[in-house]
Amino acid sequence: MLPSLLLFSLLLSNFRPACAATAEQWRTRSIYQVITDRFALEPGAVVNECVISNSTWCGGTWNSIRENLNYIQDAGFTAIWISPINQNYEGPRTAYGDPYHGYWPADVSQLNEHFGTADDLKALSAELHLSLTQEKKELIEQVDIVVNNVMATSLTPDYSSYMFKSAEYYHPYCVIDWTNLTSEQQCWLGDTTVPLPDLNSENSDVVSQYSSWISDLVQTYSIDGLRIDAAKHIRASFWPAFAQSAGVFCMGEVFDPSVPNVAEFQGPGALDSVLNYPAYYALVSAFALPGPQNISALTDTISQSKTALGNFLENQDVPRWHNLSVDPQSMYNAMSFSFLSDGIPIVYYGQEQGFSGNADPYNREPLWPSNYTNTSSYQLMTTLNQLRNFLVNTTDWATQSMDVITSNDHGLAFQKGNIVTILTNIGAPPQNFTNTAFQSPWAHGTVTIDVIACRQFVVASGGYLEVEYTKGGVPVVLAESSFLQGSGLCGATLAALHDSSTGDVVAQSSASRHTPLVWLAVPLFLMSVSLGSW
């Protein structure tokens, strides 16, 4: 399953300068997020040496990412996000471990030697941009950067080894008042054990040096986009000029559940995009089991924000989904939301392997003990990517807005372009629970396909659809079958859509019923999903 190693000389010969992707192009992409240290080992490395609680380097490098890109490409991703590349603190191990994650910058004008050389990083970038053969689709690269702060081990650090070498470039130390945004932007993150000295982004020298730094970085390594750590901790008005110098798509981290607070950092006065923390909190609230099962939290968030944000269920700062929710179907439903609602889907490495670590450092597991297995979650992710790639290739789906068709305490149905997605929070156990019937966008007699289970359904009179969950709370993703021709999904012909392995009768519409389309939701296929990899 791991890719063949392409020769370095071949990569260099195909290397071409950055043709930076625009925000419009990024909207069509789906992103796989990796922590460089934890994604893959170099050949010959000892596999059992990574002790997560040690919070130290486990051996992943830019080369080992490059050598294992097939795992990402085979799942249909079209972009990767890699953890910060710049030099970090070098010194005795702190109480919080070593900066294997890359988020403790020192001299950001240098690369981080733990992860390889400049040529290694260029080779990774070149391979990402390579599309030599039809099977090898081009991936684009988003690099994580830390601009807000550096890392130190005292409140009065010697700055001579940093890119900004004197205290005048930093805000004076103060403790953050989390009720005051100015304080969040000018006081120091971290604590007294590992303080994170805050760059004075009001200082014009800081502004201009950062500007030339990011311009050089993006061009030298052919970076297509930036993920900006702690973007909320710098005044929003800093970002437009910075992003202009970068010349690429910028997605900021604004770690905040509130739509208005997050929205302040997206738009012409700030950044192209931000991570969708409001939707993250809402998805946990709506789908985690056990949990409040609050679908309104999700529909409220959808109604407040209709822009291209980065949708995610996990990252290096929040617990794994399976630490919050034990039910596999809860993740499949939430994952379907990430891919098929407005925004850019982001999957954090290991989510597809059922990792379940809690907060830092336990949510930064090495991926290799999973053997990169083709799990049920990996397959669901692949299907969702295949559908989404087809949609963005063949229609203006990426720029269409989602509309919630209906919602109740147990789920919601929404439409975006040609797709209707029906999600539920009832979980894996079978239930004789019927969601509210709702009017689909399709006319009576339309043949539709659930692309996840490859089942065919015919829309009944009045355009009504109804979903029944006798086999558990599976996500349902419907498209007109005629539309799917050529997508490679669920076979090319309708005949292939009947699931002969289960022997179940596929439900059909019946004009005599009040709820004409009865969904006998997904028998053996999804039972094997829920048993297969957990």
Ligand X SMILES: *[C@@H]1O[C@H](CO)[C@@H](O)[C@H](O)[C@H]1NC(C)=O
- Minimum distance between the CB of residue 504 and ligand X, rounded to whole angstroms? 14
The reply on whether position 504 binds ligand X by CB under 6 A is no
Q: 197 preceded by cis ω (within 30°)?
A: no
- 267 vs 265: CA distance, rounded Å: 7
Active site residue 229: yes
- 45 vs 383: CA distance, rounded Å: 32
Closest CA to 488 of 373, 393, 347, 377: 393
Stretch that binds ligand X, among 101-109, 174-182, 237-245, 505-513 (CB under 6 A): 174-182
Q: Which residues within the stretch 282-311 sit at the binding site for ligand X (CB under 6 A)? A: 292, 294, 296-297, 300
- Minimum distance between the CB of residue 182 and ligand X, rounded to whole angstroms? 4
Compare residues 213 and 332 and give the one whose CB is closer to ligand X. Answer: 332
Compare residues 245 and 325 and give the one whose CB is closer to ligand X. Answer: 325
Stretch that binds ligand X, among 23-31, 273-281, 430-438, 456-464 (CB under 6 A): 430-438
Q: 430 preceded by cis ω (within 30°)?
A: no
Per CB under 6 A, the list member of 182, 204, 493, 500 interacting with ligand X is 182
Judge whether 1 and 372 are in contact, CB under 8 Å: yes
Query: Helix, strand or coil for residue 36?
Result: helix
Q: How far is CA 69 from CA 64, 134, 351, in A?
A: 9, 15, 17
Q: Which residues within the stretch 189-248 sit at the binding site for ligand X (CB under 6 A)? A: none
- 526 vs 455: CA distance, rounded Å: 12
- 467 vs 419: CA distance, rounded Å: 16
Q: Which residues within the stretch 314-353 sit at the binding site for ligand X (CB under 6 A)? A: 322-323, 326
Helices (H) and strands (E) in the chain, counts: 16, 19
Q: Is 513 annotated as a binding residue?
A: no
Q: Which residue in 127, 184, 253, 314 is the catalytic one?
A: 253
Judge whether 452 and 380 are in contact, CB under 8 Å: yes
Per CB under 6 A, the list member of 112, 148, 186, 316 interacting with ligand X is 186
Closest CA to 168 of 195, 194, 205: 205
Compare residues 173 and 362 and give the one whose CB is closer to ligand X. Answer: 362
Q: What is the DSSP letter of 435?
A: P
Stretch that binds ligand X, among 4-12, 139-147, 354-362, 491-499 (CB under 6 A): 354-362
Compare residues 227 and 364 and give the one whose CB is closer to ligand X. Answer: 364
Judge whether 519 and 466 are in contact, CB under 8 Å: yes
- Minimum distance between the CB of residue 121 and ligand X, rounded to whole angstroms? 25
Residues 6+ apart with CB under 8 A from 190: 149, 151, 196
Q: What angle do CA 270, 276, 280 make, to 5 degrees?
A: 155
What kind and span of H or E run contains 141? Answer: strand 140-146
Here the tokens at position 47 are 């596999």
Exposed, middle or buried: residue 192 (CB in 10 Å: 0-12, 13-18, 19+)? exposed
- Minimum distance between the CB of residue 417 and ligand X, rounded to whole angstroms? 15
Compare residues 233 and 322 and give the one whose CB is closer to ligand X. Answer: 322
- Minimum distance between the CB of residue 99 and ligand X, rounded to whole angstroms? 14
At 50, the amino acid letter reads: C
Q: What angle do CA 388, 389, 392 make, to 5 degrees?
A: 85
Compare residues 356 and 448 and give the one whose CB is closer to ligand X. Answer: 356
- Binding pattern to ligand X, positions 375-414, x when CB under 6 A? ----x------x--xx--x---------------------
Per CB under 6 A, the list member of 432, 493, 500, 512 interacting with ligand X is 432
Stretch that binds ligand X, among 51-59, 327-335, 398-406, 499-507 (CB under 6 A): 51-59
The reply on whether position 461 binds ligand X by CB under 6 A is no
Number of residues that bind ligand X (CB under 6 A): 36
The reply on whether position 373 binds ligand X by CB under 6 A is yes
- 209 vs 335: CA distance, rounded Å: 40
Residue nearest to ligand X (CB): 358
Query: Helix, strand or coil for residue 313?
Result: coil
Compare residues 245 and 316 and give the one whose CB is closer to ligand X. Answer: 316
Q: Which residue in 107, 144, 229, 352 is the catalytic one?
A: 229
The reply on whether position 51 binds ligand X by CB under 6 A is yes
- 352 vs 368: CA distance, rounded Å: 13
The reply on whether position 362 binds ligand X by CB under 6 A is yes
Judge whether 53 and 28 are in contact, CB under 8 Å: no
The reply on whether position 94 binds ligand X by CB under 6 A is no
- Binding pattern to ligand X, positions 121-160, x when CB under 6 A? ----------------x-----------------------
Query: What residues form DSSP beta bridges with 437?
Result: none
Active site residue 253: yes
- 409 vs 115: CA distance, rounded Å: 47
The reply on whether position 74 binds ligand X by CB under 6 A is yes
Q: Is 455 annotated as a binding residue?
A: no
Here the tokens at position 274 are 């931000």
What are the residues binding ligand X (CB under 6 A)? 51, 54, 56, 74, 137, 174, 180, 182-183, 186-187, 292, 294, 296-297, 300, 322-323, 326, 356-358, 362, 370-371, 373-374, 379, 386, 389-390, 393, 430-432, 470
**Residues recognised as catalytic:** 229, 253
Annotated binding site: 104, 227, 317, 364
